[in-house]
Homo-oligomer: A and B are copies of this chain.
Amino acid sequence: MTSEFELIQRYFKRRTLHTDLDGGDDAALISLWPGSQLVVSTDMLVEGTHFLPGTDARDLGWKTLAVNVSDLAAMAAEPRWALLAMALPEADEDWLEAFSEGVYECAAAFGVDLAGGDTTRGPRTLCVTIMGEVPHGRAVTRAGARPGDEVWISGQPGRAALGLAHLRGTLRLPDTLRDACIAAQQRPQPRVALGLALRDVATAMLDVSDGLLGDLAHLLDQSGVGACIVENALPVQHLANGGVDPATLRQAVLAGGDDYELLFTAPREAREQIASLSDRLALPLHCIGHILPAGSGLQLQTTDGRPVPTACAGYDHFR
């Protein structure tokens, strides 16, 4: 979403009557019955904007649902139901069969029911609404980060951007990285188990769809705090064994989108708990910085120890 389009959302920010949390987060929260909240989110994917014409239909089916599942993971919610509305230029049965296979693969992987939908003729556009549940008051929003909290990122951010660059031919990935990076781009794995496990650990959380620094800025904005990210702490080493230059790798990790890793904050005392969670889930979790007081902005401590405002660090290669 461009900032121009973020402005648009201002027209749809009037007060709600029976909604606990509306807009501005990964999903809305609704209290329907004692003890639990409904968590809902909607996402529209347009051919040419969010995916290229000719994208493999099965991969596209997986990804269309997966990016919505990820929104619920980012709220520490359990995804349960999805609705799929589609505009399609023609009723191409081969495409539909492959696309629906991909959707159902993802639905089965995360226990999501496809509860309904709509299909119509038009430029290829996919709109998923996902619904899930969370115990009342235990959703993790973007707004809870406090100064002193540590900033964490799951898995291996940057792979999806490297995979996309390889597919577009702007970068040639070595064999050791290629498959994993392309898979990250085409078959993102929403971190549902991690999100659920972080319910009483994380103070704020979101999923990284637009790039680590850009999405972190949203979290800081909602929490009213700043942060310092330490370049030396970034998970670059696993990408660094194939001859891609280090600057490109750092760019991919900090600014590459589409990985759907979880970015979260937690108090320093939670370190051991997070380490054992990483072991249990067999998922690397990296502490990459810490939260600063309001007004500090988003700083990057470079490898030579200097803190620089990220606005000056030029991490926009993959945007």
A residues in contact (CB < 8 Å) with B: 1-2, 4-9, 11-12, 14, 16-19, 22-23, 27-28, 30, 32-34, 36, 38, 40-50, 80-81, 83-88, 91, 96-97, 99-100, 103-104, 111, 113-123, 125, 127, 129, 131, 133
| Known contacts A88-B8, A120-B1, A125-B123; is-contact A14 B115 (Cβ 8 Å) | no
The CA of A3 and the CA of B5, in the complex, are separated in Å by 35
A50 CB contacts on chain B under 8 angstroms: 120
What number of copies of this chain does the assembly contain?
A: 2
A32 CB contacts on chain B under 8 angstroms: 32-33, 36, 38, 133
Docked-complex contact A116 and B5, CB < 8 angstroms = no
Docked-complex contact A17 and B111, CB < 8 angstroms = yes
A1 contact from B103, B119, B125, Cβ within 8 A: B119
Docked-complex contact A12 and B114, CB < 8 angstroms = yes
Docked-complex contact B42 and A100, CB < 8 angstroms = no
| Known contacts A18-B81, A121-B2, A125-B87; is-contact A115 B30 (Cβ 8 Å) | yes
The CA of A14 and the CA of B103, in the complex, are separated in Å by 11
- Closest B residue by C-beta to A97: B11
The CA of A213 and the CA of B246, in the complex, are separated in Å by 67
A40 contact from B33, B84, B116, Cβ within 8 A: B116
- Closest B residue by C-beta to A107: B14
A122 CB contacts on chain B under 8 angstroms: 44, 46-49, 123, 125
Which 7 A-B pairs give the minimum distances between C-beta atoms?
A33-B33, A46-B122, A11-B100, A129-B129, A127-B127, A44-B85, A28-B116
